[in-house]
Amino acid sequence: MSQVLHITSRDNPVLQRLRKLSHDGSAYRRLGSVWLEGDHLARACLQRGHAVSLAVVTETGYAQSPALQALADAAPKVLVVPDALFKTLSGLESPAQIGFEVPYAGMGPQAQVLTPGLDSVVLDRLQDAGNVGTILRNAAAMGFRQILALKGTAALWSPKVLRAGMGAHFGLRLIEGLAPSDLDALAVPLVATSSHAGQQLHQLQLPNPCAWVMGHEGQGVQLELMQRCALTVGIPQPGGEESLNVGSAAAICLYESARQRLQG
C-alpha cells in the first residue's frame, strides 16, 4: 500500500529537490536520483523492473484518471499536488500529470565499470540531447545493450535525453565519463564511420560483437579514439549530401549490424 500525501506548499523540500532534477541536466549525479516526467517514461521504468522511490501526480489526474492513480500507486510514496504546483516541476511546454523519482543507476564504483564482450555504442562528446536520446533508442531496438559515453558527452540521464530516449534507458547499461583508453577493456572491435573510408557499409561483413563509435556532431571522432578503431566504413549517400546527422548515421549502422546477424 502506497503512502499518499497531499502537498500544497511550493517550498516543500521534496519538491525543491525535484525542481533541481528537472531543470539541471546533471543534477542527478549530485543528488543520486532521476526525475521521469510523463506516464510513458513511468510505465517504461516499471516494465523493466527499475526501482521507484516516489510518484508525484496532479490532483486532477489522481482524482479523475484511474490509470494515472494506479500508475502512481505503484510507487511506495505518492505526492498529490495541485496542477499549478506540478507545472513548477516540469520542463515541458505542456506539462504531464505524473512523474517518478527513481534512484540513479550510475551511483557507486561498480556501476561505472564497462562489461567486456558486449555489443556497445560509444558516444564521443556528442552535445545534442536529442541525438543522444535517439541513439539510445536505436541501440535498444537493435540489440546493442551497452552505451559508453566519453567525457564531454551530454548527460545521459538528463531530462532532455530521457525524453528523446522514450524509455530505452531502462533496457541499457549506461556508463559515463570514460576516456578513450578505458575502451581497451571492452575487448571487441571498435567500428567508426568516415567519409574517407574506402569500404562501404553494405559491402562488409561486420564484426560480431562490435562497438560502433559515434563522434561529435561537428568534429567527428577524436584522433585518439579513431586510432583505436579496427575498422572504418563509409555510408553511401547517392543523393550527394556532405554528411548525415549522427542520429541517422547510428540508425543505419546499427540496423546493418542487426540485419547481418539475423541473416547470419
DSSP letter for 234, please. B
Evaluate if residue 49 carries a pLDDT over 90: yes
pLDDT tens for 122-170 read 999 999 999 999 999 999 999 999 999 999 999 999 999 999 999 999 9
Among the listed residues 17, 41, 42, the one whose alpha carbon sits nearest the alpha carbon of residue 30: 17
pLDDT tens for 82-108 read 999 999 999 888 889 999 999 997 766
The 3 state secondary structure assigned to 15-54 is: HHHHHHHHHCCCHHHHHCEEEEECHHHHHHHHHCCCCCCE
User: Residue written as cell 505503484?
Assistant: 74
Question: Are residue 18 and residue 98 in the same domain, yes or no?
Answer: yes
Q: Which residues contact 136 (CB under 8 A, 6 or more apart)?
A: 147, 156, 161, 164, 165, 168, 169, 172, 174
Question: Are residue 97 and residue 120 in the same domain, yes or no?
Answer: no
**What was the pLDDT predicted at 263?**
87
Type of residue at 129: A
**CATH code of residue 56:** 3.30.1330.30
Local confidence band at 4 (pLDDT 50, 70, 90 cut-offs): very high
Evaluate if residue 185 carries a pLDDT over 90: yes
Average pLDDT for residues 191-215, to the nearest whole number?
90
Higher-pLDDT residue of 122 and 202 is 122
**What was the pLDDT predicted at 241?**
67
Q: Residue-wise over 171-186: b if at least 16 C-beta within 10 A, else e?
A: bbebbbebebebbeeb
**What was the pLDDT predicted at 205?**
94
**CATH code of residue 133:** 3.40.1280.10
Average pLDDT for residues 223-248, to the nearest whole number?
88
Evaluate if residue 33 carries a pLDDT over 90: yes
Evaluate if residue 9 carries a pLDDT over 70: yes
**What was the pLDDT predicted at 43?**
97
% pLDDT > 90, the chain: 84
Question: Are residue 78 and residue 116 in the same domain, yes or no?
Answer: no
**What was the pLDDT predicted at 243?**
73
User: Residue written as cell 510518484?
Assistant: 55
Q: Domain boundary at 53, 81, 103, which?
A: 103
Q: Domain boundary at 103, 118, 135, which?
A: 103
Question: Are residue 198 and residue 141 in the same domain, yes or no?
Answer: yes
At 136, give phi and psi (nearest 5°): -60, -40
**pTM score of the predicted model:** 0.93
Full domain range(s) for residue 257: 109-263
Q: Domain boundary at 40, 73, 103, which?
A: 103
Question: Are residue 136 and residue 245 in the same domain, yes or no?
Answer: yes
Question: Are residue 241 and residue 150 in the same domain, yes or no?
Answer: yes
**What was the pLDDT predicted at 242?**
66
Question: Are residue 98 and residue 229 in the same domain, yes or no?
Answer: no
Characterize the bridge pairing of strands 98-103 and 33-37.
Answer: antiparallel
Q: What share of the chain is helix, strand, coil (3-state, %, to 5)?
A: 40, 20, 40
Question: Are residue 90 and residue 168 in the same domain, yes or no?
Answer: no
**What was the pLDDT predicted at 110?**
63
Among the listed residues 262, 13, 248, the one whose alpha carbon sits nearest the alpha carbon of residue 137: 248
Find the helix or strand (DSSP H, E) in which 162 lies: helix 159-165
Question: Are residue 188 and residue 68 in the same domain, yes or no?
Answer: no
Average pLDDT for residues 173-183, to the nearest whole number?
96
Find the helix or strand (DSSP H, E) in which 131 lies: helix 129-141
Question: In the chain, how many domains are there?
Answer: 2
Characterize the bridge pairing of strands 77-81 and 3-6.
Answer: parallel
Question: Are residue 144 and residue 59 in the same domain, yes or no?
Answer: no
Strand ranges in the chain using DSSP code E only, listed in sequence order: 3-6, 33-37, 54-58, 77-81, 98-103, 120-124, 146-150, 173-178, 190-193, 211-215, 231-233
Characterize the bridge pairing of strands 98-103 and 54-58.
Answer: antiparallel
Question: Are residue 146 and residue 67 in the same domain, yes or no?
Answer: no
Question: Are residue 121 and residue 41 in the same domain, yes or no?
Answer: no
